[in-house]
């Protein structure tokens, strides 16, 4: 496939290299190792002189097919598939940074990403500075001579804040640093960070790439030169995607463009309805004109995506958390779970789930209040979602 093809075509056709059996759907290679014709070929494979499969910790045909398809969709030279979204972040940082290096990261990262950077990687000598996702001057001021990476999610989890990718990329490049963008919320069906100036893309394939909440997986994408050390870390450390999961993700990528369009359409309808409910204090959704970065989001994204967050107003005598939990517990259809990207809509209370290990002070600094609820809008009819949130309309 080439960049002349449309994304829908690339999502279906890229990475599909049939075996001698001529299968029309990619095969699953559920084996640990691969045989060589002779000792010389084995040596050539291990040295890298001859391409080919060796051992499924770092070479597997099904995983390669997934990597090739996702790379084609993102416009990247190379993709390195990993066991989970968090292992993708770990592989990226461990591959490109050393003890003493400095990373500037958004304070609005997913809670576990914050934990990885501050509670784990800092113990191994990485210096980390957290800044406002949307304030480019804070990123610029945080740069030191040791700065190696900028790291951001855009839109952010759970407030859907949007950064100016090109502006942050320019600042990073002026500092001789690389800009990493977690594109989990948008996927290549909505946003192409590399085309906007970023150097590296991170994915949790567990989310929209799968699309049905079945498997764990992650990916790091970028130029071949940047992916070489990331792949080297994976080869030695074994943060490996399984062949079965890769096959599931291949099937998910085939329908990604049409699914993301549906998620976004239903999310916009729900967000618009939520804004009109008296018990809702504020709605966070990039597709709404009330969103602080609406104009920027619509420049970088083709739609608002599938994540809607909102703050509920406590009743007299209620605390914020109680108000949020009461609404969540009153739902009958929407799944109460912290995962997202599923065909089934999910609802969660970020302060006590995804961001529960972040200090209250840090949560408040990033805008994650006890009254905040996040809905990952699935593929159900939007009227049924509104009906399941009827407590808002009848409060």
Q: Measure the CA–CA gap between 227 and 88, rounded to whole angstroms.
A: 12
The answer on 327 and 217 residing in a single domain is no
**Residue 342 sits in which domain range?**
257-393
CATH number at residue 190: 3.40.640.10
- Residue 2 resides in a domain: no
CA atoms within 13 A on the CB side of 275: 15
The answer on 291 and 226 residing in a single domain is no
- Residue 295 resides in a domain: yes
Q: How many residues does the chain have?
A: 395
Q: Are 207 and 78 in contact (CB under 8 A)?
A: no
Q: Are 186 and 54 in contact (CB under 8 A)?
A: no
Tell me how far the alpha carbon of residue 260 is from its chain's centroid.
14
The answer on 31 and 67 residing in a single domain is yes
The answer on 275 and 228 residing in a single domain is no
For the chain, the maximum distance between any two Cα atoms, rounded to a whole number of angstroms, is: 78
DSSP bridge partners of 103: 128, 149
- Residue 262 resides in a domain: yes
- What is residue 269's three-state secondary structure? helix
Q: What is the CA radius of gyration of the chain?
A: 21
- Residue 341 resides in a domain: yes
Q: Are 149 and 178 in contact (CB under 8 A)?
A: yes
Q: Measure the CA–CA gap between 109 and 133, rounded to whole angstroms.
A: 9
Q: Measure the CA–CA gap between 56 and 242, rounded to whole angstroms.
A: 8
Q: Domain boundary at 208, 227, 252, which?
A: 252
pLDDT at residue 1 in the model: 64
The answer on 243 and 268 residing in a single domain is no
Q: Domain boundary at 252, 269, 296, which?
A: 252
- What is residue 155's three-state secondary structure? coil
pLDDT at residue 325 in the model: 97
- The reported pTM is 0.95
Give the E-state strand segments of the chain in sequence order: 78-82, 102-106, 127-131, 147-153, 178-182, 200-204, 218-222, 280-284, 307-312, 335-336, 346-348, 372-376
CATH number at residue 280: 3.90.1150.10
Q: Are 214 and 203 in contact (CB under 8 A)?
A: no
**Domains in the chain: how many in total?**
2
Q: Domain boundary at 252, 275, 290, which?
A: 252
Which of 63, 11, 31 is CA-nearest to residue 241? 63
The answer on 118 and 33 residing in a single domain is yes
The answer on 281 and 223 residing in a single domain is no
The answer on 347 and 242 residing in a single domain is no
233-239, long-range: CB < 8 A, 24+ apart? 233/91, 233/94, 233/95, 234/58, 234/80, 234/82, 234/91, 234/95, 235/57, 235/58, 237/91, 237/94, 238/57, 239/82, 239/83, 239/84, 239/87, 239/90, 239/91
- Tens-level pLDDT at each residue, the chain (395 residues): 667 899 999 999 998 788 888 888 889 999 999 999 999 999 999 999 999 999 999 999 999 999 999 999 999 999 999 999 999 999 999 999 999 999 999 999 988 999 999 999 999 999 999 999 999 999 999 999 999 999 999 999 999 999 999 999 999 999 999 999 999 999 999 999 999 999 999 999 999 999 999 999 999 999 999 999 999 999 999 999 999 999 999 999 999 999 999 999 999 999 999 999 999 999 999 999 999 999 999 999 999 999 999 999 999 889 999 999 999 999 999 999 999 999 999 999 999 998 888 788 878 877 899 999 999 999 999 999 999 998 776 65
Tell me how far the alpha carbon of residue 301 is from its chain's centroid.
15
pLDDT at residue 19 in the model: 83
| 96 CB neighbour count, 10 Å cutoff | 23
The answer on 195 and 283 residing in a single domain is no
- Residue 378 resides in a domain: yes
- Residue 155 resides in a domain: yes
The answer on 262 and 246 residing in a single domain is no
The answer on 273 and 245 residing in a single domain is no
The answer on 132 and 189 residing in a single domain is yes
Beta strands at 178-182 and 147-153: parallel, antiparallel or unpaired = parallel
- Residue 1 resides in a domain: no
- Residue 13 resides in a domain: yes
pLDDT at residue 109 in the model: 92
Residues 6+ apart with CB under 8 A from 223: 76, 77, 78, 199
């Amino acid at each position: 496939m080439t960049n002349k093809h449309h994304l829908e075509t690339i999502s279906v056709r890229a990475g599909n290299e049939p075996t001698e059996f001529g299968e029309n759907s990619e095969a699953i290679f559920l084996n640990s190792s691969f045989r060589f014709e002779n000792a010389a070929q084995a040596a050539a494979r291990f040295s890298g002189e001859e391409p080919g499969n060796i051992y499924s910790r770092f070479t597997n045909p099904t995983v390669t097919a997934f990597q090739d398809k996702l790379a084609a969709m993102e416009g990247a030279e190379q993709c390195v598939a990993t066991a989970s979204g968090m292992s993708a972040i770990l592989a990226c940082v461990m591959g490109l940074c050393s003890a003493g290096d400095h990373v500037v990261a958004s304070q609005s990262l997913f809670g576990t990403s914050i934990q990885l950077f501050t509670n784990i990687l800092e113990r191994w000598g990485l210096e980390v500075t957290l800044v406002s996702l949307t304030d480019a001057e804070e990123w610029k001021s945080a740069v030191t001579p040791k700065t190696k990476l900028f790291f951001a999610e855009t839109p952010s989890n759970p407030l859907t804040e949007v950064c100016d990718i090109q502006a942050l990329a320019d600042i990073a490049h002026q500092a001789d640093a690389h800009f990493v963008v977690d594109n989990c919320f948008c996927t290549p069906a909505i946003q192409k960070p590399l085309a906007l100036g970023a150097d590296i893309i991170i994915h949790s394939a567990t989310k929209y790439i799968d699309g049905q909440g079945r498997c764990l997986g992650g990916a790091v994408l970028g130029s071949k030169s940047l992916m070489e050390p990331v792949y080297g870390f994976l080869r030695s450390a074994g943060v490996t995607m399984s062949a079965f999961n890769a096959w599931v993700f291949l099937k998910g990528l085939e329908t990604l463009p049409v699914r993301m369009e549906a998620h976004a359409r239903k999310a916009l309808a729900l967000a618009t309805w939520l804004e009109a409910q008296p018990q809702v204090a504020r709605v966070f959704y990039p597709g709404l004109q009330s969103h602080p970065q609406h104009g920027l989001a619509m420049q970088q994204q083709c739609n608002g995506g599938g994540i809607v967050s909102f703050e509920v107003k406590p009743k007299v005598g209620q605390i914020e958390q109680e108000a949020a939990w009461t609404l969540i517990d009153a739902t009958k259809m929407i799944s109460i779970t912290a995962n997202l990207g599923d065909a089934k809509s999910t609802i969660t209370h970020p302060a006590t789930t995804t961001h529960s290990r972040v200090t209250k002070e840090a949560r408040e600094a990033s805008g994650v209040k006890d009254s905040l609820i996040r809905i990952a809008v699935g593929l159900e009819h939007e009227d049924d979602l509104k009906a399941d949130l009827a407590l808002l309309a009848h409060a």
